[in-house]
Amino acid sequence: MALSNLASEISRRRTFAIISHPDAGKTTLTERLLRAGGAIQLAGNVRAKGERRRTRSDWMGIERDRGISVVTSVMTFEYGGCIFNLLDTPGHEDFSEDTYRTLTAVDSAVMVIDAAKGIEARTLKLFEICRLRDIPIITFVNKMDREAQDPFALMEEVSQALALDTAPATWPIGRASNFVGTYDLRAREVHVSVPLEQSDPRMIALGEELELVQAALPEWNRESFDAGHLTPVYFGSAMREIGVTDLLDALVSFGPQPRAQATDGRVVQADEPTMTALIFKIQANMDPNHRDRMAFARVCSGQLTRGMRVKHVRSGKQFALHTPQFFFARDRQLAEEAYAGDVVGIPNHGTLRIGDTLTEGEELRFTGVPHFAPEILRRVRLDDAMKAKKLRQALQELAEEGVVQLFRPQDGSPPIVGVVGTLQLDVLQARLAGEYGVGIGFESTPFSLARWVDGDKLRLANFVATNRTAMADDLDGDPVFLASSAFMMRRTAEMNAELRFVDIKQIGSNFS
The annotation places the binding site for GTP at 20-27, 88-92, 142-145
Element (H, E) at 512: none
Q: What phi and psi values does residue 6 have, to the nearest 5 degrees?
A: -60, -45
Query: β-strand 73-79 against 13-20: which pairing, if any?
Result: unpaired
Distance between CA 34 and CA 28 in Å, rounded?
Answer: 10
Q: In angstroms, rounded to a whole number, what is the distance separating the alpha carbons of residues 413 and 415? A: 7
d(CA 321, CA 318): 10
Farthest CA pair distance, the chain: 82
Strand spans (E) along 236-274: 261-262, 267-268
DSSP 89-145: ---SGGGHHHHHHHHTT-SEEEEEEETTTBS-HHHHHHHHHHHHTT--EEEEEE-TT
Secondary structure (DSSP) of 71-101:
S-EEEEEEETTEEEEEEE---SGGGHHHHHH
CB atoms within 10 A of CB 156: 16
Tally of CA atoms within 13 A in the half-sphere of 60 that contains its CB: 20
Task: Decide: 70 and 92 in contact? Cβ < 8 Å.
Answer: yes
CA distances from 267 to 99, 244, 382 (A): 23, 35, 46
DSSP 466-509: HTGGGEEE-TTS-EEEEESSHHHHHHHHHHTTTSEEESEEETTS
Burial of 148 (C-beta count, 10 Å sphere; 0-12/13-18/19+): buried
Angle at 54 between CA 52 and CA 59, to 5 degrees: 160
Angle ∠(441,447,453) on CA atoms, nearest 5 = 120
| Strand 170-173 versus strand 181-184 pairing type | antiparallel
Name which of 329, 347, 339 is nearest 13 in CA terms.
339
Which residues are part of a known binding site? 20-27, 88-92, 142-145
Query: Are 391 and 399 spatial neighbours (Cβ–Cβ below 8 Å)?
Result: no
